[in-house]
């Protein structure tokens, strides 16, 4: 049995009883997160149909290579995501060269990565019934992802993110949330959420007020159904906007916390990575911390693993690196692999996506995993 | 003075007189194409503002890697372009995986390549006022290309080409012409055509009937103004559809003929490349024949040059190879370079575009040319 104690692709095992030894404490903690009801209290659960259900802002990326000067001139925080209105989107778009349009959106990228690995997935996010909305829908569905949220027939256009990629492969994102702000409770299909082993939520959802409500509601549904709830902090500036609420979530409510170094430091308002790390120890949830070329650190109760990044990768565009790390990790997690192997899957998926423009894999991640021998039993 | 006798970036020199020696015959032929009026008869000419003015179907490409089986199952002619209606576009799109959206269109790709090399360019082609039309307009304008054709406010959506890329890097194109069929005479700005040193036309324009009229009219304007008229045959199946008319054009009306091996064989309905080559000799215009990895052959009167392709290129997607060869060639041509050097520029530009997905250069072609020493005087 892997260290985290169960394979979430099958209905969760009953909580461990008092016969557990001290050595299994961490498993027990994870199996009984604070506030989670016992299986008996919940009544019958629906079948698991999806390994992961993702909820996020449905966005089409417009990827444009730019020089550093543009960021300086426009005073754009390098590597961050800022929200812009349509006028600013138009102004900025007018200043840059030709783009490459691809479906994006943080949780949607993770779901696309999981689909590429062969996981069963569903996605919830809102587009409009326009051309970019059609592209988003086609792309995610063509991967076999269950995506049935109806497109808005009025209101703002499908969300766009102008991704400015500098020569250091860093991406600076400028998001016009458009139709994604109209995601609301009624767009969340309860049955879909209930039939997902893991519910994966992006912190960005806290920006559109209605989407935040959809976030809270789907989290409640998943918890009620005894599912695993995962959150990615999304962005250091996003953490800045919602620090108190995210801290509360990280302490009580979620089982898996994904964050990069800047985000976790922002969450705990500390100067060093290690200070953040100490804050995360001895908790009931697993924290997955990504550090770019420095690899990743996984914290689960008393357990800490430091896992290397994939060597020999020349990054061209880091857009989607965190999203794909989460995809690889969740792929392993929902198969019951140990945490180190989960992180190795994460590193592999992230390495693929940073080797080309765009935030979704170009190659089959399942193929790469097979070639690397990552799928061998061990 | 280069073999083709003039540098079209400046107003054309007066036609050579009877003092010409026999050795200059080919130049004389080129300087006095059949049906072209002498400078004196034309009256004052507007200034040259553009090196090349391109006219074509304004299309956004949807690039999708596919397996060979799909082409077989759907019975699609590999490497060709077929026209499809919106229903078929939707059906086929529903069968393929996630795509990459990029501005395309044959002549537009050539113009984008010329802009990347530093040429002054203008483009004429029709989009609708929808999201993909906005992307097309942004992309071409952001390169510094003069593009002032108004978007259609009603009628079909912006044209899309579903580009299926097989593992051999071959692209098979499925084009829904959409708004591009609404290009008509009134969209052709006479002043723009007159102020271009070269008018570059794509054979694909013969598919939409109104566009064909715009083709004819702009050709007449350019000829009347004494400009160089260039035609690309576009596609062997396109040649099939309009063989008689294209043969007539190739014999009388155009100065530069661009074709690949399949197209030129289709034009003359011959079995071998050499038979086509013999048909092209001793004519007044220059033929630029591209042969993929076999390089190119340039025929001008009695002159024939066989030029190698760029070595060491691993093609990923050959979409735009011909378009970019034309861009490189025209760049050299409008600067008065000799034909071999023009073809070397063509090979360089084609090599860049086949090394990645999409039909437009990702790197600065001017930079590459500089690094290769192609811009040194010699």
CA distance A281 to chain B (A): 40
CA–CA gap between residue B52 and residue B195 (Å, rounded)? 9
Strands B59-65 and B100-103, bridge-based pairing: antiparallel
Q: From first to last of its 378 residues, what are the pLDDT tens digits of chain B?
A: 344 443 333 333 333 333 333 333 333 223 333 334 444 444 556 789 999 999 999 999 999 999 999 999 999 989 889 999 999 999 999 999 999 999 999 999 999 999 999 999 999 999 999 999 999 999 999 999 999 999 999 999 999 999 999 999 999 999 999 999 999 999 999 999 999 999 999 999 999 889 999 999 999 999 999 999 999 999 999 999 999 999 999 888 899 999 999 999 999 999 999 999 999 988 878 999 999 999 999 999 889 999 999 988 889 889 899 999 999 999 999 999 999 999 999 999 999 999 988 899 988 999 999 998 888 754
- In chain A, residues with a C-beta closer than 8 Å to the C-beta of B62 are 135
Cα–Cα distances in angstroms (integers) from residue A303 to residues A25, A26, B91, B305, in the given order: 11, 9, 51, 70
Closest in B102, B112, B143 to A100, CB measured: B102
Q: What DSSP element (H or E) covers B369?
A: helix B365-371
| A98–B102 CB contact, under 8 Å | yes
| A101–B142 CB contact, under 8 Å | no
- In chain A, residues with a C-beta closer than 8 Å to the C-beta of B140 are 98
Domain positions in chain A? 43-56+106-155+180-371
The first and second tokens of residue A376, run together, are: 């061998």
| Cβ pair A26, A20 in contact under 8 A | no
**With bands split at pLDDT 50, 70 and 90, how would you rate the model's confidence at A3?**
very low
- In chain B, residues with a C-beta closer than 8 Å to the C-beta of A62 are 135
Cβ contacts below 8 Å, chain A against chain B, sum to 64
| B98–A358 CB contact, under 8 Å | no
| Cβ pair B138, A93 in contact under 8 A | yes
- In chain B, residues with a C-beta closer than 8 Å to the C-beta of A93 are 138
CA–CA gap between residue B314 and residue B322 (Å, rounded)? 16
What is the DSSP annotation of A280-308?
A: HTT-SSEEEEE-GGG-EEEEETTEEEEEP
Query: Considering only CA atoms, which of A63, A263, A90 is closest in space to residue A171?
Result: A63
| A101–B96 CB contact, under 8 Å | no
Q: What is the pLDDT of residue A45?
A: 66
Dihedral sign, CA of B167, A101, A96, B135? Answer: positive
Residue in chain A nearest B360 by alpha carbon: A98
CA–CA gap between residue B30 and residue B257 (Å, rounded)? 13
CA distance B351 to chain A (A): 18
Phi–psi pair at A181, nearest 5 degrees:
-70, -15
CATH classification code of B42-57+105-156+180-371: 3.40.1190.20
Phi–psi pair at A162, nearest 5 degrees:
-85, 110
Residue in chain B nearest A130 by alpha carbon: B131
pLDDT tens-digit profile of A306-329? 999 998 888 988 989 999 999 999
| B138–A94 CB contact, under 8 Å | yes
The first and second tokens of residue A271, run together, are: 């100067």
- In chain A, residues with a C-beta closer than 8 Å to the C-beta of B121 are none
DSSP state of B293: G
CA distance B177 to chain A (A): 16
CA distance B237 to chain A (A): 29
The first and second tokens of residue A29, run together, are: 């903690």
| A98–B140 CB contact, under 8 Å | yes
Question: Taking the CB of residue A222, how many other CB atoms lie within 10 A of it?
Answer: 26
- In chain B, residues with a C-beta closer than 8 Å to the C-beta of A65 are 362
Query: Considering only CA atoms, which of B271, B269, B267, B315 is closest in space to residue B289?
Result: B267
Q: What is the pLDDT of residue B10?
A: 35
- In chain A, residues with a C-beta closer than 8 Å to the C-beta of B132 are 131
CATH 2.40.30.170 fits A43-56+106-155+180-371, yes or no: no
Q: What is the pLDDT of residue A27?
A: 31
The complex scores an ipTM of: 0.78
Residue in chain B nearest A95 by alpha carbon: B142
Residue in chain B nearest A132 by alpha carbon: B131
């Amino acid at each position: 049995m892997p260290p985290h104690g169960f394979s979430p692709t099958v209905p969760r095992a009953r909580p461990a009883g008092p016969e557990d030894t001290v050595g299994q404490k961490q498993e027990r903690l994870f199996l009984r997160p604070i506030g989670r009801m016992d299986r008996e209290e919940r009544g019958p659960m629906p079948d698991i149909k999806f390994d992961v259900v993702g909820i996020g802002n449905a966005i089409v990326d417009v990827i444009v290579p730019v020089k550093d000067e543009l960021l300086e001139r426009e005073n754009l925080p390098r590597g961050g995501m800022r929200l812009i209105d349509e006028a600013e989107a138009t102004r900025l778009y007018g200043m840059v060269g030709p783009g490459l349009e691809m479906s994006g959106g943080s949780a949607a990228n993770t779901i696309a990565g999981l689909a590429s690995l062969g996981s069963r997935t569903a996605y919830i996010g809102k587009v409009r019934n326009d051309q970019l909305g059609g592209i988003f829908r086609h792309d995610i569905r063509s991967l076999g992802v269950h995506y049935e949220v109806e497109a808005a027939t009025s209101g703002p256009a499908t969300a766009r993110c102008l991704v400015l990629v500098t020569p250091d492969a860093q991406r600076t994102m400028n998001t016009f949330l458009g139709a994604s702000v109209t995601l609301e409770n009624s767009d969340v299909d309860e049955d879909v959420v209930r039939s997902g082993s893991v519910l994966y939520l992006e912190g960005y959802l806290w920006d559109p007020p209605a989407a935040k409500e959809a976030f809270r509601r789907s989290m409640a549904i998943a918890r009620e159904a005894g599912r695993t709830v995962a959150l990615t902090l999304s962005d250091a500036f996003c953490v800045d906007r919602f620090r108190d609420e995210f801290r509360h979530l990280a302490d009580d409510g979620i089982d898996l916390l994904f964050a990069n170094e800047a985000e976790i430091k922002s969450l705990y308002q500390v100067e060093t990575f290690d200070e953040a790390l100490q804050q995360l120890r001895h908790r009931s949830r697993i924290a997955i911390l990504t550090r770019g070329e420095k690899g990743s650190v996984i914290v689960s109760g008393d357990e800490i693993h430091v896992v290397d990044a994939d060597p020999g990768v020349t990054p061209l565009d880091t857009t989607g690196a965190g999203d794909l790390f989460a995809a690889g990790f969740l792929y392993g997690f929902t198969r019951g692999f140990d945490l180190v192997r989960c992180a190795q899957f994460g590193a592999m998926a992230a390495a693929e996506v940073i080797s080309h423009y765009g935030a979704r894999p170009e190659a089959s991640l399942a193929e790469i995993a097979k070639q690397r021998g990552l799928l061998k039993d061990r």
